[in-house]
Structure 1
Amino acid sequence: MEGAAPAKEGSESVGALESEGASRPRPEDLVARAIAPVKAEYLRPPPSRSVAVDSGVEDGSNEKKSSSTNVVVKEKKSRRQLKRERKQEQKSTRNICPEVAKSGNADACPYRGNCRFNHDLDAYLAEKPPDLEGTCPFVSAEEFCPYGITCRYASTHRQQTSLKLEVPATKSSEVNSLNKDLQKLLWKNKVSFPNADFQLKLLGLERGNGARANSGADHMKNHPENNIHLDDNKEMLCSLGAPTTCVENDCLDNGSISDDSRPLKKTKSQADKIDSSPKTKNFEESRDSCLQNGLEDASPDNLYSSKDDLSLKPHAREIKLIDFRGKLYLAPLTTVGNLPFRRICKALGADITCGEMAMCTNLLQGQASEWALLRRHSSEDIFGVQICGAYPDTVARTVELIDRECEVDFIDINMGCPIDIVVNKQAGSALLTKPLRMKNIIQAASSTLSKPLTVKVRTGYFEGRNRIDSLVSDISNWGASALTIHGRSRQQRYSKLADWDYIYGCAKKAPESLQVLGNGDIFSYTDWIKYTLDCPKLSTCMIARGALVKPWIFTEIKEQRHWDISSGERFNILKDFVRFGLQHWGSDTKGVETTRHFLLEWLSYTFRYIPLGLLDVVPQRLNWRPPSYYGRDDLETLMASDSAADWIRISEMLLGKVPEGFTFTPKHKSNAYDSAETANT
């Protein structure tokens, strides 16, 4: 995930500058200390808000209370209590049947009395919150609103009669939704992966049924001399399913067994192992295709048919490569890099977009929330998805599944994610310590995929021990067509500036067949030009946190100017985001609050932008810490606030009042902004 975190050093000096009677340092001195040189006439003392009121106070119990009202804001609930509340909500009059809501007819539900939703239209309308100001986003887009009377803009639906749409068009501009039939098969583990399984066997990386749990233990039983304390590596070995034959050079330097064990010889074709007695004529046809592709367990239950699922992988020359050179690439951004945000960036000049990082295991389990990260809008003409996994078979099967089910132009494997929950599962940055595992994953994925495969990494795992420069040529040979290098180590996170000299060195070592992209600290068009011109072998630069704070950076780069954007123009961008969000998440109450949540997550980054006209030195740098300042108007001042309560005020200007008892805490708290607040209303 690309988070936002300037350096922490010198944070005390920001408050010192704002203290009464302190002398004003020169702008160049402030820049040297990574403090934003805001013009003196706009500086103000820090707001004197109460921490207890703004962020809640812990009283030693499981509840947070406001010191002024002593009202419980949040409490921990047991699973039984949550389940009881869900059942009560289902029986509530507000839980109206979707079919009844869409048509406005209580008899429209096909389940009649067996439906678990409420069918009482009058009772629902009596409790429905008042409509919001504005026009339904679906009606404004000349589409039929699929939410009917539950839409918070239902009063504007009278315009739908002029649309003459007999069938509601629900999210017609979005693709890559999860098919319900496919989801059920994924739940039951009955989806076949012929291409991936065949390639895994060719590479000697297959894991048979039950191998995850047993073969690692069998390996230790058959070879007691290796039965030493392995810590995490032992768990990974069992999970990987190591073969019973020891492999030379499969041990780590510290003496523990490597989790990348492979058989000495590649197994024979699976065609010899397939049962030759199919049960049905249709299965016989599928079986013949399986024989060509090396599918082992070709039973009717585990076959999922689609028109492309058994096709052979095209030759490398047939894969349409993507030319990243000179294109503006929006990085995959966890939480904030959702589809509405990507639409904003596309409208402001981004050329290439990539979905949020999705975990391979969750995709293979058919989790709808994870598949939602693969959604693509029609405006995204060059679009990729980013996946993260720890093992070759998991990644290869995910790649095959996405390749045949989704419309994407490339697939990116994240081998640089620094988040603990990912690293602890041996994925993301943890792979940087396992080059053999990296090789197996890239080879298995690239040989399975019919589209370009790209890889994103950091310089290394530990600070001061960079290693990607020694793997650049190998990554190309393994099958990747592009490599993105974030100029920081995993241990470093975002605490220092990116090492672009190291990125340049890696780009110079890369073969012609591998495009190298740089990533880190790009916050203006001058940064982008400098980094791309300093190293001609660098194809382009990926823009991450800079787009979070100011998405109009793409416009600045294309027009090669510093845009002193007004507060009104920024507010219009927020309006577009809300409109896109309501179209994506829904215009009913749930969709409105989901849109509000992601808007607040985004506002937790945008407040770090300092208007160009307020600075003594331009452009703003990404690592500058802003002092407390006034804007040129009230809206600009509000947008500069670091208080979550003020972010909620902005959301209310766009989406109406928040529900009673509403709370918000930014999901990704920066290590340099560790006083992130929880605002309650």
Structure 2
Amino acid sequence: METAEEVNVSKGADVAAKGEAAIKPEFLTTKDKFHGLLDSEWQGSKREKASESDTVDDSKETSLEEPEPKRLKPNFEGRPDGKRLRGQNKSRPHTKPTAYDEKRLCHSIIQNKECPFGAKCFFDHDIVKYMDSKPPDIGETCHIYETFGKCAYGLSCRFAKAHTTSDFKSMEKADLVKVYEGRTMVKNNMSKELQGRLRKRSVSFEKSEKYLKTLSDNKDKGAQQAGEKQPVSTEVQTSSDKQPAPVKTVGPLTDADVIKLRPCEKKQVDFQDKLYLAPLTTCGNLPFRRVCKRFGADITCGEMAMCTNLLQGHQSEWALLRRHESEDVFGIQVEGSFPDTMTRCAELINNNTEVDFVDINSGCPIDLVYNKGGGCGLMTRTRKFERIVKGMNYVLDVPLTVKIRTGVQEKSNIAHKLIPEMKNWGVSMITLHGRSREQRYTKLADWDYITTCAKLASPIPLFGNGDILSYEDAMKAKETGVSGIMIARGALIKPWIFTEIKESRHWDISSSERLDILKDFSNFGLEHWGSDTRGVERTRTFLLEWLSFLCRYIPVGLLERVPQKINERPPYYMGRNYLETLMASQNVEDWIRISEMLLGPVPKNFEFLPKHKANSYK
């Protein structure tokens, strides 16, 4: 009779056929043993902490004996009814970070000022009472205080002991404060004045109105000519891949004239041979982009922003446009489905932000976007797409780029028809994701098709995107003739991929080095979202979202065959130490354990379910 180890060895011989990565037999294990090790180690560490806290604080001892809150777990192996999980976890039970502060300290008190609202203020003004009810500090040192010399969150900071005196006064390090005085670390913040004008609809869009007037004038003249010559309009008779020749008119500018305006005034960006971090929804936040910049990402781009929300002055949408000073080549990606809103949004961005390029997302597969005609929907609405591109190009002083997919249906590629037309529209760079909307992530990217499209796009730069997880993948991609490479999931699974590509090597990164990366992300998150309870829990939320991808990485030293492929599912395996094993877990409980190492214990009744199931395995 075979032992469990012999079964695992025999299993290792045919893992490739099952879509699993080939791991050395000595590291393979079973599901029960894997979770058994993690649970026993974790309970042991909790007992040690309990014994240490016996002489320090009785309240901590009782809290350790309380039953742990129920936390939802993602099921990567399928539901009980046999159906596979796909797409997003809609209506997921998720506690917002704003719900963890029952009573917040007034901001005026934190800044040592008199509250303008007086007795009508909703926030707490009693410092002693607030400090008694405030959750315990997470650590002994405050990253913000140590980095910048002062912490703007004062007494509300979850590391307040590091910079607070016994009489509740905030301390400062004068030398560090002087270094950062007048320095803007994060740009593209929306001012209250601009937000007010947007909400009152008092922002002027002179260039946009000028361009949109040409569209309405041309439409009126086209309708008049159609009425005189033929009963059916030219636009209806023409297919999406064959546009009518522009009609030369006297008076208002036509689309053809508009696109020729001011080409010499546009800022130039060198896209050639660059590594481009994809604009990743949810996970592509500013702290994550800072991590990737440290590892060698050349181009970064903000998360997809809805143009209508930007025009309405939504604070949460404008937050997606923020740019850190380390992002030397930075773009903004917008989504929309109508020429008027997209053109006005481009002018708004042009006049109120500092960016190097603006990208149109015409590859988004999400139903909410596609059903409104945006994202991939633009690829099938060529005339409207053309007007959007030309209008945005007219109002922008920076290059306009476009991100597309191969098409909408799996076996009906249309990118090769669009690309020659885009060259005439004035696009500065095209990014092609080698999958259709219908495929999502369940099939490998079609790099042969990307090769064909790269030839059609020349001399305009075309970046390829899809399934890059190692420097070998990157080398093969460059052989297709693309101008550069965009990396999306590969950067989420291993953000050091940019270093591997530039140095042409496999990095057998240790678990402690990976934990240091997560620590950097946590510190960047505290800088970006705040070091109070809300900021800490918001940082934790985005850290957990990232860990739902990071757990798919398999250390190089454990692989039987290098490199790891992006569509190969990691089997259950034991790492070379406890931390490496913990980081391999696809269990939410274990992701939360990692977050607690960096951001302290989670609040009571904490629940988390990752936004993306992203079932990309066979």
TM-score bin (small chain): 0.7 to 0.9
Deviation at 1:327, TM superposition (A): 1.3
Q: Is the 8 A contact 1:171 1:584 kept in 2?
A: no
Residue from 651, 654, 661 that aligns with 2:598 = 654
Q: Is the 8 A contact 2:362 2:379 kept in 1?
A: yes
Q: Is the 8 A contact 1:246 1:263 kept in 2?
A: no
Q: Is the 8 A contact 2:198 2:313 kept in 1?
A: yes
Residue from 137, 141, 144 that aligns with 2:147 = 141
Match of 1:38 in 2: 23
Q: Is the 8 A contact 2:100 2:533 kept in 1?
A: no
Deviation at 1:202, TM superposition (A): 2.7
Deviation at 1:673, TM superposition (A): 7.3
Match of 1:442 in 2: 389
Q: Give, in whole Å, the separation in 1 of the partners of 2:219 and 2:290.
A: 40
3-state SS in 1 of match to 2:271: coil
Match of 2:72 in 1: 55
Q: Give, in whole Å, the separation in 1 of the partners of 2:451 and 2:535.
A: 45
3-state SS in 1 of match to 2:235: coil
Q: Give, in whole Å, the separation in 1 of the partners of 2:100 and 2:559.
A: 51
Residue from 426, 438, 445 that aligns with 1:498 = 445
CA RMSD of aligned residues (A): 3.6
Q: Is the 8 A contact 1:457 1:486 kept in 2?
A: yes
Deviation at 1:110, TM superposition (A): 2.7
3-state SS in 2 of match to 1:471: helix
Match of 1:249 in 2: 235
Q: Is the 8 A contact 1:197 1:206 kept in 2?
A: no
Q: Is the 8 A contact 2:9 2:25 kept in 1?
A: no
2:66 is the counterpart of 1:121 = no
Q: Give, in whole Å, the separation in 2 of the partners of 1:267 and 1:113.
A: 66
Q: Give, in whole Å, the separation in 2 of the partners of 1:666 and 1:252.
A: 45
Q: Is the 8 A contact 2:105 2:124 kept in 1?
A: yes
Match of 2:60 in 1: none
Q: Give, in whole Å, the separation in 1 of the partners of 2:530 and 2:317.
A: 18
Instruction: Supply the AA of the counterpart residue of 1:199.
Output: Y
Q: Is the 8 A contact 2:72 2:608 kept in 1?
A: no
Residue from 340, 349, 354 that aligns with 2:296 = 349
Instruction: Supply the AA of the counterpart residue of 2:275.
Output: L
Q: Give, in whole Å, the separation in 1 of the partners of 2:8 and 2:489.
A: 32
Match of 1:578 in 2: 522
Residues 504-561 of structure 1: CA deviation (Å, up to 9, x unaligned): 000111231x1111000000111111211x233x111101110000000011111111
Between 521-530 and 633-642, the greater mean CA deviation after superposition: 521-530
Match of 1:96 in 2: 105
CA shift in 2, pair 1:127/1:445, >3 Å: same
Between 313-322 and 648-657, the greater mean CA deviation after superposition: 313-322
Residue from 591, 614, 621 that aligns with 2:535 = 591
3-state SS in 2 of match to 1:141: helix
2:565 is the counterpart of 1:621 = yes
2:202 is the counterpart of 1:190 = yes
Q: Give, in whole Å, the separation in 2 of the partners of 1:317 and 1:361.
A: 30
Residues 250-296 of structure 1: CA deviation (Å, up to 9, x unaligned): 26879xxx9x99998979559xxxxxxxxxxxxxxxxxxxxxxx9xx
Between 348-357 and 315-324, the greater mean CA deviation after superposition: 315-324
Match of 2:173 in 1: 162
Q: Give, in whole Å, the separation in 2 of the partners of 1:329 and 1:441.
A: 24
Q: Give, in whole Å, the separation in 2 of the partners of 1:137 and 1:313.
A: 50
3-state SS in 1 of match to 2:32: coil
Q: Is the 8 A contact 1:556 1:562 kept in 2?
A: yes
Instruction: Supply the AA of the counterpart residue of 2:186.
Output: E
Q: Is the 8 A contact 1:203 1:266 kept in 2?
A: no
Instruction: Supply the AA of the counterpart residue of 1:100.
Output: I
Deviation at 1:207, TM superposition (A): 11
Following superposition of structure 1 onto structure 2, how do residues 151-550 of structure 1 map, counting pairs within 5 Å?
Answer: 151-158=157-164, 160-163=171-174, 165=177, 172-204=184-216, 247-250=233-236, 315-512=262-459, 514-532=460-478, 534-536=479-481, 538-550=482-494
Q: Give, in whole Å, the separation in 2 of the partners of 1:167 and 1:494.
A: 46
CA shift in 2, pair 1:348/1:368, >3 Å: same
Q: Give, in whole Å, the separation in 2 of the partners of 1:196 and 1:453.
A: 15
Instruction: Supply the AA of the counterpart residue of 1:444.
Output: G
Residues 396-455 of structure 1: CA deviation (Å, up to 9, x unaligned): 111110011000000000000011111111100111111112111111111111100000
Instruction: Supply the AA of the counterpart residue of 1:561.
Output: R
Deviation at 1:18, TM superposition (A): 8.6
CA shift in 2, pair 1:263/1:186, >3 Å: farther
Q: Is the 8 A contact 1:34 1:623 kept in 2?
A: yes
Instruction: Supply the AA of the counterpart residue of 2:190.
Output: L
Deviation at 1:160, TM superposition (A): 3.5
3-state SS in 2 of match to 1:600: helix
3-state SS in 2 of match to 1:145: coil
Q: Is the 8 A contact 2:8 2:28 kept in 1?
A: no
Q: Is the 8 A contact 2:399 2:428 kept in 1?
A: yes
Q: Give, in whole Å, the separation in 2 of the partners of 1:34 and 1:75.
A: 29
Q: Give, in whole Å, the separation in 2 of the partners of 1:493 and 1:205.
A: 40
CA shift in 2, pair 1:422/1:20, >3 Å: farther
Instruction: Supply the AA of the counterpart residue of 1:520.
Output: G
Residues 1-49 of structure 1: CA deviation (Å, up to 9, x unaligned): xxxxxxxxxxxxxxxx99984762565x533543200111111111387
Q: Give, in whole Å, the separation in 2 of the partners of 1:643 and 1:562.
A: 27
Q: Is the 8 A contact 1:247 1:263 kept in 2?
A: no
Q: Give, in whole Å, the separation in 2 of the partners of 1:207 and 1:191.
A: 26
Q: Give, in whole Å, the separation in 1 of the partners of 2:306 and 2:369.
A: 9
Q: Give, in whole Å, the separation in 2 of the partners of 1:419 and 1:408.
A: 26
Q: Give, in whole Å, the separation in 2 of the partners of 1:56 and 1:355.
A: 29
Aligned residues: 547
Q: Is the 8 A contact 2:356 2:399 kept in 1?
A: yes
Instruction: Supply the AA of the counterpart residue of 1:535.
Output: T
Match of 2:116 in 1: 110
Q: Is the 8 A contact 1:396 1:448 kept in 2?
A: yes
Q: Give, in whole Å, the separation in 2 of the partners of 1:377 and 1:443.
A: 29
Q: Is the 8 A contact 1:204 1:267 kept in 2?
A: no
Higher-RCO chain (CA-CA 8 Å, sequence separation at least 6): 2
Match of 1:612 in 2: 556
Q: Give, in whole Å, the separation in 2 of the partners of 1:526 and 1:661.
A: 45
TM-score normalised to structure 2 length: 0.81
CA shift in 2, pair 1:144/1:495, >3 Å: same
Q: Is the 8 A contact 2:307 2:345 kept in 1?
A: yes
Q: Give, in whole Å, the separation in 1 of the partners of 2:4 and 2:329.
A: 46
- Listed as ranges, the gaps of 5+ residues in structure 1 are 1-16, 58-73, 209-218, 223-244, 271-293, 295-311, 675-681
- Listed as ranges, the gaps of 5+ residues in structure 2 are 37-68, 75-90, 165-169, 225-230
Residues 220-247 of structure 1: CA deviation (Å, up to 9, x unaligned): xx9xxxxxxxxxxxxxxxxxxxxxx973
2:591 is the counterpart of 1:644 = no
3-state SS in 2 of match to 1:385: strand
CA shift in 2, pair 1:131/1:168, >3 Å: farther
3-state SS in 1 of match to 2:501: helix
Deviation at 1:588, TM superposition (A): 0.4
Q: Give, in whole Å, the separation in 2 of the partners of 1:549 and 1:558.
A: 17
Q: Give, in whole Å, the separation in 1 of the partners of 2:160 and 2:456.
A: 59
2:117 is the counterpart of 1:131 = no
